[in-house]
């Protein structure tokens, strides 16, 4: 089997996929463990200039190859074009995107620098798999350097309708650069359709044929086992004891404006207002470690949440009960798994999300004898599969309030039936199934458009 070269801006700590790494790192762990592989990307450090030669570390079957980002590239490539322009546009938020030509120049420069540092490390029969929106231009840069290897690309985030995407300055340049890619994976069929339409509109109908939907998954049985093991762990018991018999609702997200956190908190507040019989009977724990904290919109969100949580707690709390507990520190994954298992309700209400792995993790973490209820945004990619969830419009606090009320009162047999439906889907499309499907499309054993969609229906 040829070597697999994964390229992503964020390279996880090989010992553990840390909380800041997000869904991408978590999903790739499996693919890397089973094959001779290289993981290439940013070291997470900054330096006066972007590195030209990667630092190499071997761990198991994987060589980690990383370069530092120059201060200027960190500012314009990472904070600027990637996180202040592309991220909001791809999540349908054209109105809050910030554009600056220096940012796009930094994006081009960094994609070229990544390609130049990777090219000398490549072997002729490597399979290269580039991930996410930071690196739309990298395949074209590799081709310009003479790389002939197969190159795949996976977009972990949504792709909006072309009328939105075209609001991005240089949108055409990104689309044209996709010519260099052999197989392009998206999370859902809607995302694929949007990208195909955008490609066709710039005369790249040939590239549109290489786009397919490949829903990403988790290590379902591994996470279920972890959650069951941690159910009696010290920190989990401490949380259970502190609830004093109350139900727990849980939210776990990077502190990101796409995750719908202010709206979720408002929805929880609306539930307590409209259905006062739940007051004092439920506690909502939101874990939201700070992410991209030096980008302006993220700082503003943090202030908004501090205020929103404070307001609801101030209005509703009793001397012995606060409705919302809010933590902006990272919590170890095993502990989170135990918390999820204990939670009667999992609140996953992003305004827009490529997939949302937390939704799948919450399902996997449940006790099959007494499962909790998933309240899920219709705008998360996961909603395509998880039809056993209570599906809500995350922009409508009353919709969230009504779903919370229904979840609180849901009889055990309905909870079980809904959970069984969700668990069947989570088990069928795991992280390794996702990898296999995409790689079989990339490595030519399957047609791209068919490989994803045709198998996306669980058995």
Contact 30, 431 (CB under 8 A): yes
Asked about 353 being catalytic, the answer comes back as yes
**Ramachandran bin of 346, using left for φ above 0, alpha for ψ from -120 to 50, beta for the remaining angles:** beta
Q: Would you say 10 or 35 has its CB closer to ligand F6P?
A: 10
Strands 247-252 and 345-348: parallel
Q: Would you say 316 or 365 has its CB closer to ligand ADP?
A: 365
Task: List the structure tokens of 304.
Answer: 């908004």
Binds ligand F6P by CB under 6 A, chosen from 156, 210, 278, 446: 156
Which range touches ligand ADP (CB under 6 A), out of 97-105, 115-123, 356-364, 417-425? 356-364
End-to-end C-alpha distance for the chain, whole angstroms = 28
Q: Would you say 104 or 298 has its CB closer to ligand ADP?
A: 298
**Which position among 91, 156, 170, 278 bears the catalytic label?**
156
Cα distances (Å, whole numbers) of residue 370 to 143, 291, 342, 411? 53, 33, 10, 11
Q: With CB cut-offs between 5 and 8 Å by kind, which of ligand ADP, ligand F6P, none does residue 357 bind? A: ligand ADP
Asked about 68 being catalytic, the answer comes back as no
449 phi/psi in degrees, rounded to 5: -60, -35
Could you tell me which residues come within 8 angstroms of residue 108 by beta carbon, excluding any fewer than 6 positions away? 137
245-284 residues in contact with ligand ADP (CB under 6 A) are 252-254
Contact 355, 156 (CB under 8 A): yes
Binds ligand F6P by CB under 6 A, chosen from 4, 6, 11, 22: 22
Taking the complex as a whole, the smallest distance from the CB of residue 405 to ligand ADP amounts, in Å, to 25
Of 301, 296, 292, 287, nearest in space to 329 by CA = 287
Does the footprint of ligand F6P cover residue 353 (CB under 6 A)? no
Does the footprint of ligand F6P cover residue 76 (CB under 6 A)? no
Does the footprint of ligand F6P cover residue 292 (CB under 6 A)? yes
Taking the complex as a whole, the smallest distance from the CB of residue 313 to ligand ADP amounts, in Å, to 20
Q: With CB cut-offs between 5 and 8 Å by kind, which of ligand ADP, ligand F6P, none does residue 283 bind? A: none
Task: List the structure tokens of 212.
Answer: 């397919």
Taking the complex as a whole, the smallest distance from the CB of residue 153 to ligand F6P amounts, in Å, to 13
Beta bridge partners of 8: 41, 131
Strands 37-47 and 4-10: parallel
198-217 residues in contact with ligand F6P (CB under 6 A) are none
- Could you say which DSSP state residue 50 is in? -
Taking the complex as a whole, the smallest distance from the CB of residue 291 to ligand ADP amounts, in Å, to 7
Contact 356, 389 (CB under 8 A): no
Taking the complex as a whole, the smallest distance from the CB of residue 297 to ligand F6P amounts, in Å, to 13
Active site residues: 156, 353
Question: Under the rule (CB under 6 A), what is the footprint of ligand ADP?
Answer: 19, 22-24, 26, 252-254, 287, 289, 330-331, 333, 336, 355-358, 361
């Amino acid at each position: 089997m040829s070597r697999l070269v994964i390229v992503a801006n964020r390279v996880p700590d090989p010992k553990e996929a840390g909380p800041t790494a997000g869904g991408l790192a978590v999903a790739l762990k499996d693919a890397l463990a089973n094959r001779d592989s290289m993981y290439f990307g940013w070291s997470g450090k900054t330096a006066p200039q972007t590195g030209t030669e990667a630092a190499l570390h071997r761990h198991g079957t994987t060589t980690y190859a990383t370069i530092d980002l120059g201060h200027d590239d960190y500012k314009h490539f990472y904070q600027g074009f990637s996180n202040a322009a592309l991220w909001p546009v791809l999540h349908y938020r054209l109105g809050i995107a910030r554009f600056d030509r220096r940012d796009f120049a930094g994006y081009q420069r960094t994609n070229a620098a990544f390609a130049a540092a990777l090219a000398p490390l490549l072997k002729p029969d490597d399979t290269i798999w580039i991930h996410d929106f930071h690196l739309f231009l990298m395949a074209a840069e590799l081709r310009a350097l003479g790389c002939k290897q197969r190159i795949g690309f996976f977009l972990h985030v949504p792709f909006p309708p072309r009328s939105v995407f075209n609001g991005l300055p240089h949108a055409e340049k990104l689309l044209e650069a996709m010519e260099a890619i052999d197989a392009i994976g998206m999370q859902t069929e809607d995302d694929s359709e949007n990208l195909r339409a955008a490609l066709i509109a710039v005369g790249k109908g040939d590239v549109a044929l290489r786009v397919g939907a490949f829903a990403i998954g988790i290590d379902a049985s591994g996470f279920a086992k972890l959650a069951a093991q941690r159910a009696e762990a010290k920190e989990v018991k401490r949380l259970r004891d502190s609830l004093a018999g109350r139900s727990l609702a849980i939210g776990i997200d990077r502190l990101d404006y796409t995750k719908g956190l202010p709206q979720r908190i408002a929805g929880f507040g609306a539930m307590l207002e409209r259905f006062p019989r739940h007051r004092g009977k439920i506690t909502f724990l939101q874990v939201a470690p700070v992410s991209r904290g030096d980008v302006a919109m993220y700082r503003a969100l943090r202030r908004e949440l501090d205020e929103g949580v404070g307001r609801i707690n101030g209005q509703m709390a009793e001397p012995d009960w606060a409705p919302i507990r809010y933590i902006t520190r990272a919590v170890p994954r095993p502990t989170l798994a135990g918390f999820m298992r204990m939670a009667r309700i999992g609140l996953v209400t992003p305004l827009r999300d490529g997939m949302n792995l937390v939704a799948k993790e919450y399902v996997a973490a449940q006790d099959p004898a007494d499962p909790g209820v998933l309240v899920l945004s219709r705008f998360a990619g996961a909603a395509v599969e998880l039809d056993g969830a209570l599906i809500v419009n995350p922009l409508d606090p009353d919709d969230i309030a009504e779903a919370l009320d229904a979840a609180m009162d849901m009889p055990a047999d309905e909870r079980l039936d809904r959970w069984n439906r969700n668990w069947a889907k989570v088990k069928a499309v795991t992280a390794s199934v996702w990898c296999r499907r995409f790689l079989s499309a990339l490595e030519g054993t399957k047609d791209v458009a068919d490989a994803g969609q045709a198998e996306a229906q669980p058995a």
